[in-house]
Structure 1
């Protein structure tokens, strides 16, 4: 049953006479406390916050002077008291509330400044279970929610960046106007929601609960985007507690603001290139609209980039380039020869940075490390009326039990290329077909409703690339091919064979596997089945 509303008269401006300050992040709190005190505001505080303010020579009351009760249980219980929450929740224009406050000697509180125990930072730091649980704040969220609910009479601050605005409002209006109190309240509830989402998400991960009864996701605004996928769509970029290296953790060295599409494509590029061990070979992925248009390995980044670019030089224009090693001057020289939107790498040499600086709009992102393709995680997609939540696709072909199902065994080079192709296929929109030769993609077919169409499109793109490179025949001649899911009929397989593929890797599992295997044998192909599908929508 819904609670009946109170008949509350909210003052247009609330003068700040008493403020309660209890913060974990003490950024700016001393200057803010001094400014409030200079305006005649009585300060009440707790624990370490009170000590910091007092040590700065600013008059401040301990919360126990209001509660007439000491902090107990190592500070776990200090603000959970009727004289605190009565001062936060009392609707002062309601006679019964005002009488109760007077009867029980509950002081009015006009400003609440609270930020929370660093739970997200504790998770990022990889602390043990007990330490992480101890950093779950209880009193802080309770005070935030109470004062934010009662925003008709209180101002709630959860972000040090808002301190200056409150002082400005006090100077201009003598207090905080109602409309602004509402906005601060909305921000406060968003903060506690994101905080609780982080806690519940951590518990689900720790306890390996695959499908919690209730699921929440939260993040902190990193930046407001110019627009979303299209100019008429609004968008923002939010970061969460994840430490997975990539676009969200990277430092942007230079270049204009990333767009919504830039971030989406850069994430796709870095996840793909992270599949390749930098100790074994240099790897480069060129991405356009979240699909690879060229991926290659080589002895150097320059070599890998050249091979990746050759796959589809037309689509690479205006693309995203991801590298699995420190970007060097040699590779940077090649990359900036065509228009590129973003470069992302674990690091970059000073020489490479200086070279890229000549392209002032080119974004350079340094992620510090590669993402672990085997790492567990959660992926979320919104649908009308709900969310689809699934674990990250952390299957790696090197870990799979590969089965050769044809009469012909693949050669050593074919097997290396097959594994390469399957790694790339994992990151291509379904239906996906990937042709590979000598550690480089030579044709990519993505996002088609029919697998045979993907095979044909990839072959056609290989023909176009060969023509652009002045080659007598497409590089698909003598290549291998990967399919992200099984071939439902032999036609897709035969289309790949017609393009020049000599070996195939696919998950298997079709009702017509025997028919497909027979077709492969008749065409003299070697075929490997992985038992794992990599659909990507």
Structure 2
């Protein structure tokens, strides 16, 4: 077993050259392999998605790309790929591919959330929890952590404001693999360095993400046969609440119009749609008061995704009750309850309160990355207390979906985004 553990600690040699070029028609992009001198040794990234996959990180350093008048992000705009030794404040166990891509996806979402201090915790390239608030980055991080305390374990923290002492204490109270921020204030860096294996990254561009909004990068999807699919990266069209489209449809000469969201509902939908840009489809996200309640990812059908995410809400709600009151997870309590009557009684009480609170879902809003092909998904979430929904629109059954929210008591709001937000 000890030999098996070594593969996770080994820095894998990569066979990739120091430079790479990509010619697209008569335009050429040039890239340089990113390495760092750490402990007197030149090192690239630890390994790829798995310990037996050699990998290398390349930074765009030359050339440019413009297609049909659209200018792509170019040299000098690097974030993760341009990290230097000075930016790697602590290498920890030395970052691998998944550490860097988690940070990158955090930046992808945070580019749409520059108006307030925001924090995102990621696991396996999906957010486990996210929040933004005028109360500061420490409060945002605490709310993101409480959204899914269990999944946050071993995750990546990315914030869009400098980390202060209070934020550093929150980070050190749990176990994280990576922390990325635009800067570190007070004694926060000293506090974080107490965790010797923590990778601490300073990315100055985190404070200037709004300059990248609307400018695409070249998104390359590699196929298993060695081929590639090139596409413009996703660009969020919902940058303010005014960008939402009133949900309306016609059927057999009749007009169907949904209630418009309140100001708070619209603000939460705006936040949720920004987080949606970083979530693997099919997905739905429940949000309340600027924080995720639960995030459903990667399901094959939309109503099933909604049902599974509701189950997650109930589990996470009962877990945070258990942790706050007993200092253990809901799963530890379930194990104790098998042989301990007092624990069994406590478990029954937490389960009862969770059911009564419907997993904390009443008063939430919901976004869906794709349109609802039937009203079943809407009926499922409305039954749990959702008050407003944002979805792309464009289904032949939009009228039926609008009918579902209009029939709800009280009436549920709905708006269209006018774009889909799939991520594969």
TM-score of the pair, normalised by structure 1? 0.59
Measured after TM superposition, the shift of residue 221 of structure 1 is 1.8
SS in 2 for 1:535: coil
Measured after TM superposition, the shift of residue 281 of structure 1 is 1.9
Aligned to 1:230: 50
Q: Flag the structure with larger Rg.
A: 1
SS in 2 for 1:531: coil
Aligned to 1:249: 82
Measured after TM superposition, the shift of residue 261 of structure 1 is 1.1
Aligned to 1:346: 182
Residue 388 of structure 1, aligned match among 229, 253, 273 = 229
Q: Does the 8 Å contact 1:437/1:475 carry over to 2?
A: no
SS in 2 for 1:520: helix
CA RMSD of aligned residues (A): 2.1
Is structure 2 residue 197 aligned with structure 1 residue 377?
no
Residues 337-393 of structure 1 show CA distances to partners (whole Å, capped at 9, x for unaligned) of 111010111111141111011011101111102233322221111112321111121
Q: How does 1:359-378 map to 2 (within 5 A)?
A: 359-370=195-206, 371=209, 372-378=212-218
Q: Does the 8 Å contact 2:219/2:232 carry over to 1?
A: yes
Closer, same or farther in 2 for the Cα pair 1:215/1:291, shift >3 Å? farther
Q: Distance in 2 between matches of 1:448 and 1:256?
A: 33
List runs of 5+ in structure 2 lacking aligned partners.
1-14, 36-43, 62-74, 248-256, 322-352
Is structure 2 residue 273 aligned with structure 1 residue 422?
yes
Residue 492 of structure 1, aligned match among 377, 396, 400 = 377
Q: Distance in 2 between matches of 1:407 and 1:392?
A: 31
Is structure 2 residue 313 aligned with structure 1 residue 462?
yes
Q: How does 1:300-379 map to 2 (within 5 A)?
A: 300-370=136-206, 371=209, 372-379=212-219
Measured after TM superposition, the shift of residue 509 of structure 1 is 0.7
Residues 229-269 of structure 1 show CA distances to partners (whole Å, capped at 9, x for unaligned) of 11222212222223335322341100231011111111111
SS in 1 for 2:191: helix
Q: Distance in 2 between matches of 1:234 and 1:507?
A: 39
Residues 394-434 of structure 1 show CA distances to partners (whole Å, capped at 9, x for unaligned) of 22412573222244221111111111111111211001100
Measured after TM superposition, the shift of residue 226 of structure 1 is 3.2
Is structure 2 residue 169 aligned with structure 1 residue 282?
no
Q: Distance in 2 between matches of 1:363 and 1:426?
A: 25
Aligned to 2:401: 516
SS in 1 for 2:189: helix
SS in 2 for 1:236: coil
Residues 96-125 of structure 1 show CA distances to partners (whole Å, capped at 9, x for unaligned) of xxxxxxxxxxxxxxxxxxxxxxxxxxxxxx
Q: Distance in 1 between matches of 2:234 and 2:264?
A: 26
Q: Distance in 1 between matches of 2:123 and 2:28?
A: 31
Q: Distance in 2 between matches of 1:407 and 1:452?
A: 20
Aligned to 2:31: 219
Measured after TM superposition, the shift of residue 270 of structure 1 is 2.1
Residues 75-113 of structure 1 show CA distances to partners (whole Å, capped at 9, x for unaligned) of xxxxxxxxxxxxxxxxxxxxxxxxxxxxxxxxxxxxxxx
Q: Distance in 1 between matches of 2:31 and 2:146?
A: 39
Q: Distance in 1 between matches of 2:121 and 2:142?
A: 11
Select the structure with the greater relative contact order (CA < 8 A; seq sep ≥ 6).
Answer: 2
Is structure 2 residue 128 aligned with structure 1 residue 293?
yes
Q: Distance in 1 between matches of 2:57 and 2:202?
A: 18
Q: Does the 8 Å contact 1:404/1:526 carry over to 2?
A: no
Measured after TM superposition, the shift of residue 501 of structure 1 is 0.8
SS in 1 for 2:129: strand
Q: Does the 8 Å contact 2:237/2:243 carry over to 1?
A: no
Is structure 2 residue 56 aligned with structure 1 residue 240?
no
Closer, same or farther in 2 for the Cα pair 1:217/1:452, shift >3 Å? farther
Aligned to 2:68: none
Higher normalized helix content (fraction of residues): 1
Residues 270-314 of structure 1 show CA distances to partners (whole Å, capped at 9, x for unaligned) of 22123212xx42100010001111010121111101111111110
